[in-house]
Structure 1
Amino acid sequence: MIKLGSVFRFRKTSLSFFLGITYFIIGTFYFYDQLKYKHNLPKNPEYASLLNDAWLELQNITNKPHPYNSKENDRIHDYLLHRIQDITSNISYAAIADDHENGVTSIFKQQDTFNASSIDNRVIYFESSNIVVRLEGSNPDLPELLLSAHYDAVPTSYGATDDGKGICSILAVLDYFSKQQPERGLVFNFNNNEEFGLLGSTIFMENEWAKYIKYFINLEGTGSGGKAVLFRTSDATTAKIYKDAVVDSPFGNSIYQEGFYNRYIHSETDYKVYEENGLRGWDIAFYKPRDLYHTVKDSIEYTSKEALWHMLHTTLQLTKFLALESINDIEAKHNLSPAVYFDVSGLKFFAMSSKNLVFWNYILLLVSPLTNICLLFIIRKKNRILLGRLNTWFRLPISLMVSCLITYCTSNVLKALNPFILSSNYVLATLLFVGVFLISNYIVLNVFERLSPTLDFKTVAINEVSVLLWAILFIQNTKSYYNNYKNTGIYPLTISYAFVSFAGNIAYLFMIFKKTTITPEETVKNGTLRVTSTTDVEADPGQPSTYSSIENGSNTVHLDNNTQQTRTNESGATPSENNTEENDERRPLLRVASTEVQNTEKNNVANYDWLLEFLIIVPIPTYIIYNSVSLIMSALNQTFQDTGDIAKTYLILLAGAIFIVLPVLPFAYKINFKLMRLVIVSTIIIFVLVAHVLRPFTEALPLKIRYIQVNDQVELFGIRNDNNMIKMIEDLPSVKRNNLSISCVNDINLTEKCQYMSVFEPHLIDNFKPNEMKMLDIEVIRNDKNEKFKSPYEPINAEIKINVLENRMCTLNFNTTTKVRQVTVFKPSNKNELYYTPMDSNASIPYIFKTSENIDQLQLHKLDFKQNYYHIGIQWLPQLSLSNIDATNVEDGNNNTLIVDVECFWGEYFDDSIDNDGERFNKLPSLTEILKFKPIDISITNKDKGLIKYTQQITL
């Protein structure tokens, strides 16, 4: 019968048992975290009613795609305005401002919001249709809270998650506070046109109510469901407010925040606008799966009430805390450094200042090594054998290098065989790299142990892992210090190093206080007797004894911790295999040494310190690291479809897998071979699955292809994956029937662009007559460049009229060699001037933007579909005034020409157009054909601001 004490000794079976239990518990916590929200619908009748109403609102606003440049967008605006008026009727402390009705318009300069590296100078003309609601607080001295979401969507999406859930959540919060006045004033911004420039939030900052606001909550969606994560927050104080407010199912991680800070995440939300205008707040968003983001599957069908409730309840908890609880707004100003925060399976939320974390990291990086050195000094002072021989210290570094190389090669093989598998199954890929790295270390470390047995590898390895983590943490901590504490994702390193270094010091403490007498080396003629403490390890039954030895020439006697003696001759035979036993003078001394070890063993304390070290090092650091890797990969595993950069994703996953295994390495050589055999078989099966069997794209997680029709040419963009895009195009009926030519060229990284001529005529508007009408036409109204008495130094002015039919969105691009310094947009001053009339200063309102810098682009966003033109004024400087060219050398004035490329976008395709005879036409038949005949594992999204773009170039 096995003694209970032996279960807890450092045996292969014991180690394997506790390792299996640890991984089982981590897996249980992980799946609990992933599934908990699905079983957390409200039982409170008031909350249940709020959720049911919000779900109904979501159903009503996601009937059709509704981008800014669609008529459905107007229907959503009118529906929301009607619902808001119903909710706030008979409420004395409520006020509504409808930007559409009030004619709110602005012209402003804006950097490219989705490309921080862009140096283009863009000017935006924007007519707003935001709906802004204000609930006055009972305490007017408190700064107010803004809740914001956008009701527009992209042309290819129903917008259920992006951002229908956000809209329905703040509508539910408005309904909740319509029944009880908040102490702090609340402002709700149901904004429009976020998708193409964050314009609704930008123009909101010109609203008269914006001056009362200090805090904001922005709701967004970059996936299609799941849980709403706290993407980022302004500072440590706002993170602490979230911690105190959201007590039920908090979910957030500052790793994502670092992604935004360091531009690993390229997309943006309205949070950026509010924060840049001095507000402090929270960015709460859905974030996965990105394969469905901006596609037709962002719909009611692919989301759930549970997901909506998670966002709504999080928002409600945070809003109630801010609106009804007492917050010291003066004290809240003190801690403005970036925040470090994370949750543990939705059960507990932790938050602290990144600045404080950096400070305590440096304290930890100083104190822990000093403690380690002091303990080593005490061990040496007490005449205890200092840990191991030289080869013991080199084992783990060599093993790490070999294992990293093997794992890296495995990732390259996977990239060659099935590079995009991360899109559909990053979890199996993670387990593959974890398995390869663990197996490689197991083999290398056991080879070392066979060649040169040692007692103390575990303690050495713990401290070597501690040194490695020390170096990594020091580097990352210093980077954070010089980056204004914005490296808010380093907390897993802090936790891992703290636990590992603590375990290393614990191991040294046990060496000091163990009741063991270390027998010094005894020299016996040509041999050396080395007997070391045997309390670090106990041999497994049936395992060779390898822990203390007597070496003499070719003969070795092994003494295990049960003091059994085995002698082998040069050929490896044991005494039982030889009839004659060598008789020499060493035999009495061997008996003495054995007796000393036996007497020592009787006085030894039971060896359970390894278990304490294991429990410190493995469970918590492994959980924190795996959870962090999972969060990162669930957000990034499909981003290569946007960027084409798969190599960076693989490197992140590779590093994550290595860190997951790192806490186990000091114990890896001691894993039971039966368990390791299971790991090896599982790893091989996983490799076969991810490399050869599983498909990278499925119906649930499809390949995303971006579509736009430019004039009469269809352009498609996507990653190069077994020519899937080309095969799809070649299989289209119109392409086969008309034998259309397909042209494909490589785009950035792993993406490609394919194009072909469409044989279909778009019918974007009712009663459209292709032979008689043009969707886009440009006229030059005035151009004074060649006026006879014009000074060569005088700025040149021109006016153009862009005739468009039922359009809301156009862009003018100016050639960069000409310096455009002023643009003017003339807006009709009354509803009757919907069709262009000769310029009349009383009939239009000029919106002028003038700058000393060059203007590269003018974007136009108007609301009225019936206004069939844009009236634009442009002023640029002659080349002469910018150089030393003699005026007499400029005769024809060609150096002063301005080239303008005009692009106008339309975003509707869902409804048919109708002619005067009642005949129905598909608005965009080339897109409809693709949607009808594409494979099920491909989804279509928009490439640009619309689904079709008409272009024209003019020279002024």
Structure 2
Amino acid sequence: MTEPEEGPSASIISKKPTIKKSTGPNVFVRFIRSIFGYRKTSLSFFVFLTVTAVYLLSTYDNSLELSVSLPEIGSFEDDILQESWYNLQKIGEFKHPYGSKGNKVVYNHLKAEIQSSVKHSKYIEWDNDLNNTNFLFGKDTYGSVSYYESNNLYVRINGSRSDLPAILISAHYDSVPSSFGITDDGAGIASMLGLLKYYTDGGKQPLRTIVFNFNNNEEFGLYGAQTFFSHPWSEGVKYFINLEGTGQGGKAILFRGTDYGILNHYKSVRYPYASSLFQQAFNGRLIHSETDYKVYFANGLRGIDVAFYKPRDIYHTGEDSIRRTSKKALWHMLSTALDFVEPISNNEIDIDSSYIEKDEVKQEYATYVSFLNFFFITSVPKLVIINIALLVIVPVTIMFLLTIIFCYKQNWKLGFVNSIKFPISLVVSILALNFVTEIIVGIDEFLPNSKPMNVVVLLASTFFFINYLLLNGINLIFRNYKIVQHDEKLIVALQISFVYWVLLIITTVGLANNKPGNDHTGKGLLTVLYAIQSIGCIWGLLGWCFRPSKKDLEYELLDSSRTPLLVQQVEEYGAEDTEETQFQPPSDSTSLISMDSYTARKKLNLIAKTFSYDWSIQYLMLVPIPLLIFYNNGYLILQGLNKSIQESVVSQNLIFKLSQIVAITLILPVYPFIFKVNRFLVWVSLILIIQGFFTVFFTFPFDTENPMKLRFIQSANLSESVTDSYVHVLARTGLEVENILGDMPSVKESGESVECKPLDNDMVDCYYKSTKPPVIFKAKDFSDYLSVEVLKNSSDNDYPFGLLNGEIKINVKDNNMCKINFNTGSKKKELPVKTIIKYNDKPINTTIASSSIPEGFSVDKDGNYLYKDLNGMPGIELNKLKANVPYHIGFQWLPNLIDDYNPEASNILKLDITCYWTELGDDNSLVPAYQEVNHYSPKYVTWANQASGMVSVSTSVEL
């Protein structure tokens, strides 16, 4: 006797159930199924709604006009805003770099405003540092020493509780020579004046002392912030808020904070706008500019950095003017400062009683983000604990559920093809995306300057389209190996969860060892992404746990009346959008036994299909929030960095790499559902690809809103000629700067050629001999700008067996900044200059003995400033307020370290001296060459200073 055949077919035959004729679902049921059933049209509709919602929400969150409201007209806050706006107009009336005439105008305006504000108050006082902070600073990161004459303005609002740590509010009132300095940093200064008015006109003494630092010369050394710590009012200050601008326009973002304790108080801000991605970018040096925050943090203060951040191709140019900003932008910074300072100044806060010293503050990092005017923050130690818990609990839970499914239920068959589809498709599509990116770079490498999100859309559409073809192509090739009981979207979701798990391990290790230069605080949202992905996966696995087991499945397949409504359905890659029909039993002539294996699997697949809707819950778990996180943060980071594509090829590579990452992450949330989307979305992606390449081929990357930023300086070298000067323009290779400069009338008239010299990092220095000398003052040639008197050299040395002494006087007119580099010619690493002396204005007749100079900074009995470092110094930067007073400098150096290959010159110290002039005049007329390039260059070009000034004159002397 033959044994009955095992398997689904045998079971079906042995049970021989009676199948009742179906009448079909009613109209309402069919409508619900058509909308919420797991169909291509339903899924595509969900995707469309999600993308639309994400775009609208992100646009609202990042829009100054939509998400920030002006104060009520006639209110006290409105009065403060109106007066602050007036002050901003006055600050930005002239370009005002350190030491310039415009800088003095701004200083006098601030002084008058401060005096007017504090004159009737008993607990508010003001001061400056003109008499006690002219000294040499320590060495900077390059080893140079700086001499700086400061003219900061300070205000102190004395609190009623002197035992509480004071809070500092800081901004700088200087601009760069080429800019009116409206957002960098006029808005910060105007906001400080608004806060001062709030406390003086409000009439209420705060609990905590508040100190205002209106500081100067932040642009070329952060000097004003460093000077603050020489003023007695710095004693007792423990907290700070720094107001800054590293871009022009939009909302003022919370760039970074020293630690969780102080950052947590940013919650009081009514219009929070923050992302620790910027903190990570700053600490990782992806953003190359710096702010006074660096100085305050280095000196042990705890605080935050708030700044405008876009667009960087307008900041530091003449376009940073009052017409490019608005009252609402000013109000966003002003209200942020007010909302942060007011509750701290009028309350005892949680970190007062246990002030953390500098070294400990560095360990208390925080990760944070804002959205729709809500601020979310957690400390890094707490986040590390959460991550560890997730890294353990989630895999254990998933493995437990998989054990139930595979060992007990045995109702899910995981085939090899289904397991490798996602990894193969992901790897191939990323390689294809690299190829597409290379095409974009080859055609227009500067496109992200004006259209960063267009590049992202092109790459995302390409990534989506390739994956759709690959995933469905794999299914088509292996259709004969299709498994009836499978769940493609859950397989992909689990694999994405595994990728997140690996990334979270790496991030958690980084967070546990977080420090400047190796900052991971911008990755805090990865925890949210992993948690969401895990919940979606667990939901899908729970669905399989509650499905019928393998033994019950054959009977369930034959009786559709027993199929539960919310059982997870079985889907197919590339399945057509067909009307679901109830199962019809096979006729006698079409039994399952008589079917070939493929047809039997198709029949069983139709039998297994149910009218379930739990996919929509899984979709809502896996897609909307992650897509919002990826889009919003991708937008922020690209808008903050895209303009740096003009600064170096390294920045270019970074921006395109970030564009790829953003594009991939935008598709990643819908990856489990790609195979099921409607062909309409596929055609839309193809259209976006075509449109994207059209943009790449036919869009010029620069316009008036997104200009090409060129950096100018006119330089003369007295060692070569006292009459000739050259215009130098720094730019990226490929911008065809030689054509722009060659179109200048003076170049055409002179017949001079424009030369371009390649520099490091794909930069280029284009220059031409100028026929338009500067007219900053009346001069016959450039020797009137700079001359050097050698008062003492090595041949006059009084101590032939000790340090050699030299002394010079640099004669300049209308000048505030010079640099001296010690060109030793030595191939050794030793630096021979050990002491630098800045003499005061009194005549000096005696040489200062080396033995009498202590290590570091000191002041002698004659008021001379000295800096001694036995390791040596490569140079000194000089900054002075009195424009026509010469620099009187002395040096002491060690012989026999100068030039081992030229014994006769072994005692000679060569000085390379360069002095800078910043004055341009109201219409740039004091530097005609700069006026010309501004007037005749294309409208899509903006100009910024290349160095500390717009004109430089250099020479060399030997001591």
Q: TM-score range by the shorter chain?
A: 0.7 to 0.9
Deviation at 1:657, TM superposition (A): 1.3
Q: Secondary structure at the match of 2:863?
A: strand
Pairwise CA distance, 1:843: 12
Distance (whole Å) between structure 1 residues aligned to residue 915 and residue 600 of structure 2: 97
Match of 1:752 in 2: 764
Greater displacement, 451-460 / 847-856: 451-460
Deviations 1:34-65 (A, max 9, x none): 22545511116111111100000000111111
Q: Is the 2:433–2:463 contact (alpha carbons within 8 Å) kept by the matching residues of 1?
A: yes
Match of 1:239 in 2: 263
Residue 750 of structure 1: CA displacement?
2.7
8 Å CA contact 1:534–1:561 kept in 2: the answer is no
Q: Report deviation, 1:846.
A: 0.8
Name the CA shift for 1:514/1:803 in 2 (closer, same or farther; >3 Å). Answer: same
Whether 1:902 and 2:932 are equivalent positions in the alignment is no
Tell whether 2:881 aligns with 1:863: yes
Say if 1:811 and 1:542 are closer, same or farther in 2 by CA, change over 3 A. Answer: closer
Give yes or no for the alignment of 1:414 onto 2:440. Answer: yes
> What is the match of residue 70 of structure 2?
41
Of 889, 894, 897, the match for 1:872: 889
Q: Any residues of structure 2 matched to 1:169-568 within 5 Å, and which? A: 169-178=191-200, 179-243=203-267, 245-246=268-269, 248-330=270-352, 333=355, 336=361, 337-451=363-477, 452=479, 453-454=482-483, 455-484=486-515, 486-515=519-548, 535-537=568-570, 543=576, 562-563=582-583
Measured at CA, do residues 775 and 843 of structure 1 come closer, stay the same or move farther in structure 2, by a change above 3 Å?
farther
Q: Which amino acid aligns with 1:367?
A: I
Contact persistence 1:30–1:627 (CA under 8 A): yes
Contact 2:789 2:808 in 1 (8 A): yes
Query: Residue 72 and residue 596 in structure 1: after superposition, are their counterparts in 2 closer, same or farther (change >3 A)?
Result: closer
- In the alignment, the residues of structure 2 paired with residue 566 and residue 720 of structure 1 have an alpha-carbon distance, to the nearest angstrom, of 73
Change (3 A) 1:786 1:521: farther
The equivalent position to 2:56 in structure 1, one of 22, 28, 31, is 28
Distance 1:203 1:534, change over 3 A: closer
Contact kept? 1:434, 1:658, Cα under 8 Å: yes
Per the TM alignment, residue 566 of structure 1 is displaced from its structure 2 partner at its CA by 11
Residue equivalent to 2:792: 782
Deviations, residues 371-409 of structure 1 (Å, cap 9, x unaligned): 100001111232323342110000000110111111111
1 CA distance for matches of 2:188 and 2:545?
60
| Equivalent position to 2:808, from 800, 809, 812 | 800
Kindly provide the amino acid, as one letter, of the partner of residue 810 in structure 1: C
User: What are the equivalent positions in structure 2 for 1:905-944 lying under 5 Å apart?
Assistant: 905-911=916-922, 922-944=925-947
For residue 71 of structure 1, the aligned residue among 90, 94, 101 is 101
Distance 1:736 1:534, change over 3 A: same
Partner of 1:557: none
1:679/1:823 CA distance change after superposition, 3 Å? same
Cα distance change, pair 471–844 in 1 and its aligned pair in 2 (3 A):
same
Distance in structure 2 (CA, Å) of the matches to 1:587 and 1:328: 76
Residue 760 of structure 2 aligns to a residue whose secondary structure is coil
Cα pair 1:81 1:131 within 8 Å, conserved: yes
Q: 1:565–1:856: structure 2 CA closer, same or farther, 3 Å change rule?
A: farther
Superposition RMSD in Å: 3.1
Structure 1 SS opposite 2:450: helix
Q: Which amino acid aligns with 1:874?
A: F
Q: How far apart are residue 941 of structure 1 and its match?
A: 0.4
CA shift at 1:517, angstroms?
A: 5.6
- Provide Cα deviations, 1:549-575, integer angstroms capped at 9, x if missing partner: xxxxxxxxxxx98446999xxxxxxx9
Counterpart contact for 1:828–1:844, Cα < 8 Å: no
The answer to whether the aligner puts 1:106 opposite 2:128 as a matched pair is: no
Partner of 1:741: 753
Task: Give the Å deviation of 1:354.
Answer: 1.3
Alignment check: 8 A CA contact 1:76 1:151 kept:
yes
AA aligned opposite 1:12: K
Matches of 2:907 and 2:875 in 1, distance apart?
18
* Amino acid paired to 1:353: S
Instruction: Find the residue that maps to 1:188 and give its secondary structure.
Output: strand
Q: Please give the alpha-carbon distance, in whole angstroms, between the structure 1 residues aligned to 2:834 and 2:72.
A: 61
* Cα distance per residue 1:898-927 (max 9 Å; x no partner): 000011100011248xxxxxxxx9421111
Amino acid in structure 2 at the alignment position of 1:4: I
Secondary structure of residue in 1 paired with 2:801: coil
Task: Determine helix, strand or coil for the equivalent of 1:153.
Answer: coil
Conserved in 1, the CA contact under 8 Å of 2:913 and 2:956? yes
Question: Relative to 1, partners in 2 of residues 1:838 and 1:675: Cα closer, same or farther, differing over 3 Å?
Answer: same
* Contact 1:67–1:153 under 8 Å retained in 2: yes
Matched, 1:626 2:644: no
Separation in structure 1 between the aligned mates of residue 575 and residue 894 of structure 2, nearest angstrom: 91
Distance 1:387 1:369, change over 3 A: farther
**What SS class does the counterpart of residue 235 from structure 2 fall into?**
helix
Deviation, 1:596, is: 8.8
Tell me, in whole angstroms, the C-alpha distance in 2 between the residues paired with 1:35 and 1:595. Answer: 54
SS of the aligned residue for 1:498 comes to helix
* Farther-moved stretch of structure 1 (33-42 vs 373-382): 33-42
Q: 1:871 to 1:511 in 2, by over 3 A?
A: same
Structure 2 counterpart of 1:915: none
User: CA 1:857/1:782 → structure 2, altered by over 3 Å: closer, same or farther?
Assistant: same
Aligned positions of 1:709-748 closer than 5 A: 709-711=714-716, 712-723=725-736, 725-748=737-760
Instruction: Mark the runs of 5 or more structure 2 residues left unpaired by the alignment.
Output: 1-26, 556-565, 717-724, 849-859
Q: Measure the CA separation in 1 of the matches of 2:354 and 2:346.
A: 16
Stretch of structure 1 that moved more, 792-801 or 28-37:
28-37
Letter in 1 for 2:932: E
Q: CA deviation at 1:534?
A: 8.8
1:838–1:676 distance in 2 versus 1, CA, 3 Å: same
- Provide the TM-score with structure 2 as the length reference: 0.87
- Secondary structure of the residue aligned to 1:953 is strand
Equivalent-residue separation in structure 1 for 2:750 and 2:393 (angstroms): 76
CA distance in 2, matches of 1:205, 1:8: 66
Note if contact 1:37-1:310 (Cα within 8 Å) is conserved in structure 2: no
User: Residue type of the partner of 1:225?
Assistant: G
Q: Percent identity?
A: 33
Cα separation, 2, equivalents of 1:677 and 1:597? 29
Q: Aligned equivalents of 2:592 and 2:257: distance in 1?
A: 78
Contact in 2 for aligned 1:760/1:925 (Cα 8 Å): yes
> Residue type of the partner of 2:102?
E
Q: Give the structure 1 partner of residue 9 of structure 2.
A: none
One-letter code of the match for 1:741? S
1:445 deviates by: 0.9
Which of 813, 819, 838 is the equivalent residue of 1:811?
Answer: 819
Structure 1 segment 9-24 matched on structure 2, within 5 A: 9-24=37-52
The SS at the match of 2:247 is coil
Change (3 A) 1:461 1:775: same
Give aligned pairs, total: 881
The verdict on how the C-alpha distance between 1:18 and 1:518 changes in structure 2, with shifts beyond 3 A counting, is farther
2:693 equivalent to 1:687: yes
Distance verdict in 2 for CA 1:9–1:99, change over 3 Å: same
Aligned position for 1:761: 773
User: In the alignment, residue 429 of structure 1 is paired with which amino acid?
Assistant: V
